A and B are shown apart, each in its own frame.
Chain A
Amino acid sequence: MRQNSNVVALHAGILASLLILFFITSAYHNGNLARIMVLAVFAMGYNFLFGYTGLLSLGHALFFSAGMYGLGISMHHLELSVLPAFAVALLFTAMVSAAIGFLALRTTGVAFMIVTLMFAQAGYLTILLFGKYTRGDEGFVIQQAERTLFGLDLTDPSIRYFAAFALFAASYLFIAWAVRTSFGRCLVAIRENEARARMLGYDTARHKFLALLASGVLSGVSGAGYALLFGYAGATFASVQYSILPLLWVLLGGSGTTLGPLIGTAFAFYLVDISSEFTSAYLLVVGAAIVFLTLFFPQGLAGEIRRRIAPWLP
């Protein structure tokens, strides 16, 4: 089982490098990495449904914003402290995901794309409709003084980094474990051929439902973490572009790989950040880079590594 030990070494190596990066990078990249790690949880959640189960959703902004507002509203209006607010956010996202799973999983393929897109749009408009509490597009601030956990100030750069790391590591290890269980293997079987998986006796409906639930909750974790660590909740995060972004990150990084979402999120972030330093027409660079990547790295960055160098890559 050399491959097995490779995988374990890889996971440990990734997490260790993220810890080491904290000490060797500048304050600026520190902040970026914290943000990337939180958003990578979103991408990993998306990948769980898309990359492993083969369901392309265009509505994940709904789950992200459910987490964001679940935490934000509980802290801002109900004056809960961080832990209970986080629990509310998770519970709320789980409920939303279950409802969407119940309805949307009656469809597959393009119909699933549209149904999830429509539910997410309805969610976005609902946030605007209840502008009295959500402040609509403008959003609201979660005050610095409230963002403490066990007496630790979450707005301190180092504590923020390690909080983001904790969220990332927990989600990463969860996914790394889940895809190696028989449950995870069944998801891949569904992706490859659902009818065959069903014929083999798997309850594919249940598997898909649980995959969507896990995917939604992970996205909610990311949304809640984002609101908590960066102090803001707003309707922009519920808009359609935040449904397309995780898809883009996952496809750039490599769908169906554990590492792909992190790579894709970091790549997309630095692509914008670095190209905007050289030219104000940076969207042109970003667009061209995306086209170039799809042409020459058809399976995403991590996917190509797996194809060309390390076939054992999880």
Chain B
Amino acid sequence: MEFGPHFLLATLEGALTAAVLALTAVGLSVVFGIMRVVNVAHGEFFMLGAVIAWFVSTTVGIHPAVGFLLALVVAPVMVGFLAIVADQLVLRRLDYDPERTIVATIGLLYCIQQVTLMTFGPDARPVIPPFNQRIALPWFELGEQGFQVTWPWGFGVTTYKLAVIMFAVIILVGLWRFLARSKFGLIMRATQLDREMALAFGIPIERVYAIVFGLGAGLAALGAVLIVPIRQAHYLMGGEPLLLSFIVVIIGGLGSIPGTIMAAILIGLSDGIISVFFSPTLAKIIATLLVAFVLVYRPQGLFGRRLP
């Protein structure tokens, strides 16, 4: 493929990665930013979202779109609820101690994976997208015969992929407005800024934490439902989103939701674009080292303020 269309295709793919990553990472970001704990099981909440989407869409056998739309609601709610239970049973009892939370969520990760393996099985299972047309894209060239329209081989995108990107943007804008305008958003920010002070003002910290933890898990599940018609459900699919969203949250600057979204876009796009120029594995190495060096020289993240 010519450089131009190749570059644009990689950018489109990068945008898709970025969209889903933004949802998943914002979920981790609120948890990380407000509760100050690393939830290693975050990727498993993502995986559960995809798996529940598969169960819902195959049980409701009317039309693929019906099952999918239902999954879009059911999966985040169920996963969010499960996360709240985990929070109440485990995290709260650990007093949200950072180190113990890491270990406990590793334990949760094992449990969730094993239960999924025993019920859902080891296979990758597809979910039918509600709609999916391939759109061949044109390319414009200034050749010897003047301005030309060509249709490069393999240059296209599917309607579903475009819809995922748009849907993710809508959700993120909605979330942003919710956190900025609503009373709960205010409470969350107050808790983030000063836990003691918030407590003194009568904010029920523990309930806020539980809701935040559920919200974070629900967002991860939502991202998974969106991506599962493109990339199938599998019980080990949680590893990559965990690592990537973890990176995104730190690069974006701890606790900054706009920063997280910007970082997701940057990482998603760069991951796609770097792959144009290098052999695939080398491209991964370069993208990985890039993240490392950004943090080496800007430890507070790209959009974070330096902590005192």
Q: Does A186 contact B (CB under 8 A)?
A: no
Report A-chain residues with C-beta under 8 Å of the C-beta of B285: 122, 125-126, 129
Interchain CB contact under 8 A, A106 and B247: no
Report B-chain residues with C-beta under 8 Å of the C-beta of A171: none
Interchain CB contact under 8 A, A283 and B114: yes
Q: How large is the interface on A (under 10, 10 to 19, 20 to 34, 35 or more residues)?
A: 35 or more
CB within 8 A of B288: which of A122, A128, A244, A251?
Answer: A122
Report A-chain residues with C-beta under 8 Å of the C-beta of B110: 283-284, 286-287, 290
A contact face: mostly helix, strand, loop, or mixed:
helix
Q: Does A96 contact B (CB under 8 A)?
A: no
Known A-B contacts A118-B292, A287-B108; the reply to A108 vs B103 at CB < 8 A is no
Complex: how many Å from CA A121 to CA B291?
Answer: 11
Q: Which of B88-103 contact A (CB under 8 A)?
A: 90, 93-94, 97, 99-100, 102-103
Q: Does A36 contact B (CB under 8 A)?
A: no
Q: Does A91 contact B (CB under 8 A)?
A: no
Interchain CB contact under 8 A, B292 and A119: yes
- Chain B residues proximal to chain A, CB less than 8 Å: 38, 40, 90, 93-94, 97, 99-100, 102-104, 106-115, 117-118, 239, 243, 246-247, 250-251, 254, 281-282, 284-285, 288-289, 291-293, 295-297, 299-301
18 of the cross-chain contacts (CB-CB < 8 Å) are A107-B299, A111-B295, A113-B38, A114-B246, A115-B295, A115-B296, A129-B281, A129-B285, A240-B239, A283-B117, A284-B114, A287-B109, A287-B114, A288-B107, A290-B104, A293-B103, A294-B107, A298-B97
Report A-chain residues with C-beta under 8 Å of the C-beta of B99: 56, 251, 255
Report B-chain residues with C-beta under 8 Å of the C-beta of A117: 243, 246-247
Q: Which of A259-288 contact B (CB under 8 A)?
A: 281-284, 286-288
Interchain CB contact under 8 A, A114 and B281: no
Q: Which of A99-140 contact B (CB under 8 A)?
A: 103-104, 106-108, 110-115, 117-119, 121-122, 125-126, 128-129
Q: Does A247 contact B (CB under 8 A)?
A: yes
Complex: how many Å from CA A108 to CA B110?
Answer: 28
Known A-B contacts A283-B114, A287-B109; the reply to A294 vs B292 at CB < 8 A is no
Interchain CB contact under 8 A, A252 and B103: yes
CB within 8 A of B106: which of A115, A121, A129, A248?
Answer: A248
**Shortest CB distance A199–B (Å):** 15
Q: Does A145 contact B (CB under 8 A)?
A: no
Complex: how many Å from CA A292 to CA B293?
Answer: 38
CB within 8 A of A291: which of B104, B239, B291, B293?
Answer: B104
Interchain CB contact under 8 A, A295 and B93: yes
- Chain A residues proximal to chain B, CB less than 8 Å: 56, 103-104, 106-108, 110-115, 117-119, 121-122, 125-126, 128-129, 240, 244, 247-248, 251-252, 255, 281-284, 286-295, 298
Complex: how many Å from CA A106 to CA B291?
Answer: 14
Complex: how many Å from CA A54 to CA B246?
Answer: 20
Interchain CB contact under 8 A, A106 and B296: yes
Interface centre among A118, A119, A255, A288 (most CB of B within 10 A): A118
Complex: how many Å from CA A291 to CA B89?
Answer: 10
CB within 8 A of B103: which of A107, A128, A290?
Answer: A290
Interchain CB contact under 8 A, A111 and B250: yes
Complex: how many Å from CA A128 to CA B281?
Answer: 8
Known A-B contacts A118-B291, A247-B102; the reply to A291 vs B90 at CB < 8 A is yes
Report B-chain residues with C-beta under 8 Å of the C-beta of A287: 106-112, 114
**Shortest CB distance A100–B (Å):** 10
Interchain CB contact under 8 A, A114 and B295: yes
Known A-B contacts A129-B285, A284-B114; the reply to A107 vs B100 at CB < 8 A is no
Complex: how many Å from CA A269 to CA B270?
Answer: 40
Interchain CB contact under 8 A, A295 and B104: yes
CB within 8 A of B300: which of A104, A111, A283, A289?
Answer: A111
Given contacts A119-B289, A287-B106, A294-B104, 10 further A-B contacts (CB under 8 A): A103-B292, A119-B292, A125-B288, A129-B285, A251-B99, A283-B110, A283-B113, A291-B111, A293-B103, A298-B100
Q: In this complex, what residue of B is CB-closest to A106?
A: B296
Q: In this complex, what residue of B is CB-closest to A283?
A: B114
Interchain CB contact under 8 A, A103 and B296: yes
Complex: how many Å from CA A129 to CA B102?
Answer: 31
Complex: how many Å from CA A110 to CA B94?
Answer: 20
Q: In this complex, what residue of A is CB-closest to B248?
A: A114
Complex: how many Å from CA A290 to CA B40?
Answer: 13
Report B-chain residues with C-beta under 8 Å of the C-beta of A251: 99-100, 102-103
